[in-house]
Amino acid sequence: MKIKLLFLLSIMTSVIFLSGCEPLLVFDPKGPQAERQASDIILSIGIMSVIVIVVMVILAYILIKYRASNQPDNYEPPHIEGNHLVEAICVGIPVLIVAYLSLVSVQSNYIVESAPVGYEEQEPLVVYASSSDWKWHFSYPEQGIETVNYLYVPTDRPLEFKLYSYGPITSFWIPQLGGQKYAMSDMVTTLHLAADEPGEMLGRNANFSGKGFAENTFNVTAMSQADFDDWVKEVHETAEPLTETEFQELLEPGHLGQMTYTGTHLEFSPAPEHNHSTTNESEVEYTDHSSHDQNQTNEENEHSAH
Amino acid sequence: MEFFQRFAIPHPSPAIYASMVAIALVSIGIVVGLTYFKKWGYLWREWLTTVDHKKIGIMYLLSALLMLFRGGADAIMMRAQLATPDAKLLDAQHYNEIFTTHGVVMILFMAMPFIFAFFNLIVPLQIGARDVAFPRLNALSFWLFFVGAMLFNISFVIGGSPDAGWTSYFPLAGNDFSTSVGTNYYMLAIQISGIGSLMTGINFCTTIIKMRAPGMTLMKMPMFTWSAFIANIIVVFAFPVLTVALIMGTADRLFGANFFTTSNGGMDMLWANFFWVWGHPEVYILILPAFGLYSEIISTFSGRNLFGYRAMVWSMILISLLSFLVWTHHFFTMGQGALTNSIFSITTMAIAVPTGVKIFNWLFTMWKGKIRFTTPMLYSIGFIPLFTIGGATGVMLGMSAADYQYHNTMFLVAHFHNTIIPGVVFAMLAGLTYYWPKFFGFMLNEKIGKLTFWLLTIGFVLAFFPMYLSGLDGQARRMYTYSEATGFGPLNMLSFVGAALMALAFLAIVYNIYYSYKNSPRNIGSDPWDARSLEWATHTPIPEYNFARLPQVSSSQAFWDAKKKGHELFKGEIKDIHMPNNSGVPFVMSCIFFVAGFSFVFALWVPAVIALIGVFVCMALRSFEQDHGYHIHAKEVKETEAKYGKVLNNEDRSRATSRV
DSSP string of A29-80? --SHHHHHHHHHHHHHHHHHHHHHHHHHHHHHHHHHHTBGGGS-TT------
Chain B residue with CA closest to A57: the answer is: B385
Pairing of strands A150-154, A217-223: parallel
For range B185-194, the mean pLDDT? 96
Q: For residue B588, what pLDDT is reported?
A: 96
CA distance B22 to B6: 22
Q: Does B352 touch chain A (CB under 8 A)?
A: yes
A259: nearest Cα among A244, A238, A280, A233: A238
Q: For residue A103, what pLDDT is reported?
A: 96
Task: Give B 453-512 residues with CB within 8 A of chain A.
Answer: 457-458, 461-462, 465-466, 469, 472-474, 476-482, 487, 490-491, 494
Asked whether residue A280 carries a pLDDT value surpassing 70, the answer given is no
SS3 category, A140: strand
Helix axes B446-472, B375-398, angle to 10 degrees: 10
Residues of A whose CB is below 8 A from B405: 26, 34, 37-38, 41, 175, 178-180
Question: HSE of B605 in the Cβ direction (CA atoms, 13 Å)?
Answer: 2
Exposure b/e, B376-411, CB count within 10 A at least 16 = b:
bbbbbbbbbbbbbbbbbbbbbbbbbbbbbbbbbbbb
CA distance A214 to A207: 10
For range B300-306, the mean pLDDT? 94
Describe chain A by its helix, strand, coil percentages, rounded to 5: 45, 25, 30
Contact call for A185 and B262, based on CB within 8 A: yes
| Reported confidence tier of residue A20, pLDDT bands at 50, 70, 90 | low
Contact call for A19 and B469, based on CB within 8 A: yes
The total of other beta-carbon atoms located within 10 Å of residue B369's CB is 26
CB B260 within 8 A of CB A169: no
**Phi, psi (rounded to 5 degrees) for A170:** -120, 175
| Reported confidence tier of residue A298, pLDDT bands at 50, 70, 90 | very low
Contact call for B366 and A98, based on CB within 8 A: no
Residues of B whose CB is below 8 A from A109: 338, 341-342, 345, 400-401
* CA-based nearest distance B176→chain A, Å: 9
CA distance B297 to B291: 10
Asked whether residue A270 carries a pLDDT value surpassing 80, the answer given is yes
Q: Give counts: helices (H), strands (E), chain A.
A: 7, 12
Contact call for A19 and B357, based on CB within 8 A: no
For range B321-331, the mean pLDDT? 95
For range B128-139, the mean pLDDT? 94
Return the H-helix or E-strand segment holding A259: strand A259-262
Residue B425 gets which letter from DSSP? I
For range B283-304, the mean pLDDT? 96
SS3 category, A147: strand
Contacts of B639 (CB under 8 A, 6+ apart): none
Asked whether residue B384 carries a pLDDT value surpassing 60, the answer given is yes
Contacts of B34 (CB under 8 A, 6+ apart): B40, B43
**Phi, psi (rounded to 5 degrees) for A130:** -120, 150
| Reported confidence tier of residue A285, pLDDT bands at 50, 70, 90 | very low
Q: Does B400 touch chain A (CB under 8 A)?
A: yes
CA distance B467 to B389: 14
Let me know if B593 is exposed, middle or buried by CB neighbors in 10 A (0-12, 13-18, 19+).
buried
Pairing of strands A199-205, A135-140: unpaired
Contacts of B282 (CB under 8 A, 6+ apart): B107, B238
Chain B residue with CA closest to A47: the answer is: B392
| Reported confidence tier of residue A301, pLDDT bands at 50, 70, 90 | very low
Q: Report the complex ipTM.
A: 0.90
CA distance A269 to A244: 8
Length of chain A (residues): 306
A99: nearest Cα among B533, B610, B412, B399: B399
* Selected residue of B96, B379, B381, B399 to mutate for chain A interface (largest A Cβ count, 10 A): B399
Proportion of chain B above pLDDT 90, given as a percent: 84
CA distance A284 to A303: 12
For range B146-157, the mean pLDDT? 95
Of residues A12, A19, A102, nearest to B349 (C-beta): A102
Asked whether residue B367 carries a pLDDT value surpassing 90, the answer given is yes
Proportion of chain A above pLDDT 90, given as a percent: 75
Contact call for A171 and B408, based on CB within 8 A: yes
CA distance A140 to A130: 12
Asked whether residue A257 carries a pLDDT value surpassing 60, the answer given is yes
Contact call for A204 and B476, based on CB within 8 A: yes
Q: For residue B568, what pLDDT is reported?
A: 85
Alpha helices, H only, B213-351: 223-255, 268-302, 309-322, 338-350
Asked whether residue A168 carries a pLDDT value surpassing 80, the answer given is yes
Asked whether residue B215 carries a pLDDT value surpassing 60, the answer given is yes
Q: For residue B643, what pLDDT is reported?
A: 81
Return the H-helix or E-strand segment holding B333: none
The tens digit of pLDDT for each residue in A100-114 reads 999 999 999 999 999
Residues of A whose CB is below 8 A from B401: 36-37, 40, 105, 108-109, 111-112, 179
| Reported confidence tier of residue B441, pLDDT bands at 50, 70, 90 | very high
* Selected residue of B404, B407, B491, B557 to mutate for chain A interface (largest A Cβ count, 10 A): B404
* CA-based nearest distance A57→chain B, Å: 10
Chain B residue with CA closest to A25: the answer is: B473
Asked whether residue B651 carries a pLDDT value surpassing 60, the answer given is no
Of residues B268, B363, B401, nearest to A108 (C-beta): B401
Residues of A whose CB is below 8 A from B400: 105, 108-109
What is the rounded average pLDDT for all residues in chain B? 93
Q: For residue B565, what pLDDT is reported?
A: 87
Q: Which long-range contacts link A225-232 to residues 24+ away (Cβ below 8 Å)?
A: A225/A154, A225/A155, A225/A156, A225/A157, A227/A154, A227/A198, A228/A152, A228/A153, A228/A154, A231/A152, A232/A140, A232/A143, A232/A145
Integer-rounded Cα Rg, in Å, for chain A is: 27
Asked whether residue A272 carries a pLDDT value surpassing 50, the answer given is yes
Task: Give the angle subtended at the CA of A258 by the CAs of B411 and A31, to the nearest 5°.
Answer: 45
Residues of B whose CB is below 8 A from A202: 474
Chains A–B, number of C-beta pairs less than 8 Å apart? 300
For range B522-549, the mean pLDDT? 91
Asked whether residue B653 carries a pLDDT value surpassing 50, the answer given is no
Proportion of chain A above pLDDT 70, given as a percent: 82
| Reported confidence tier of residue A135, pLDDT bands at 50, 70, 90 | very high
Asked whether residue B430 carries a pLDDT value surpassing 80, the answer given is yes
| Reported confidence tier of residue B630, pLDDT bands at 50, 70, 90 | very high
Q: For residue B323, what pLDDT is reported?
A: 95
Q: For residue A293, what pLDDT is reported?
A: 41
Residues of B whose CB is below 8 A from A193: none
Residues of A whose CB is below 8 A from B177: 133, 167-168, 210
Let me know if B54 is exposed, middle or buried by CB neighbors in 10 A (0-12, 13-18, 19+).
buried
Higher pLDDT, A303 or B53: B53
Asked whether residue B658 carries a pLDDT value surpassing 50, the answer given is no
For range B518-545, the mean pLDDT? 91
Alpha helices, H only, A182-239: 225-238
CA distance A178 to B401: 10
Amino acid at B558: A
Helix axes B375-398, B410-420, angle to 10 degrees: 140
The tens digit of pLDDT for each residue in B266-292 reads 899 999 999 999 999 999 999 999 999
Alpha helices, H only, B108-167: 112-126, 135-153
Q: Give the N- to C-terminal CA distance of chain A in Å, as an integer.
A: 60
Per the DSSP assignment, residues forming a β-bridge with A129 are A138, A163
Chain B residue with CA closest to A27: the answer is: B472
For range B554-567, the mean pLDDT? 88
Sheet of A240-241: strand order equals: A189-194, A158-165, A125-132, A135-140, A145-148, A259-262, A240-241
CB A101 within 8 A of CB B395: yes
Pairing of strands A189-194, A158-165: antiparallel
Of residues B267, B335, B404, nearest to A178 (C-beta): B404
Task: Give B 520-559 residues with CB within 8 A of chain A.
Answer: none
Residue A256 gets which letter from DSSP? -
**Phi, psi (rounded to 5 degrees) for A77:** -60, 140
CB B579 within 8 A of CB B543: no
Integer-rounded Cα Rg, in Å, for chain B is: 25
Question: HSE of B223 in the Cβ direction (CA atoms, 13 Å)?
Answer: 28
For range A249-263, the mean pLDDT? 94
Q: For residue B645, what pLDDT is reported?
A: 63
The tens digit of pLDDT for each residue in B574-617 reads 899 999 999 999 999 999 999 999 999 999 999 999 999 999 99
Chain B residue with CA closest to A34: the answer is: B405
Amino acid at B415: H
CA distance A18 to B49: 56
Full 3-state SS string of B549-603: CCCCCCCCCHHHHHHHHCCCCCCCCCCCEEECCCCCHHHHHHHHHHHHHHHHHCC
CA B432 to chain centre: 12
Length of chain B (residues): 660
A133: nearest Cα among A203, A55, A214, A69: A214
B479: nearest Cα among B6, B82, B75, B40: B82
CA distance B411 to A101: 19
Of residues A78, A112, A133, nearest to B401 (C-beta): A112
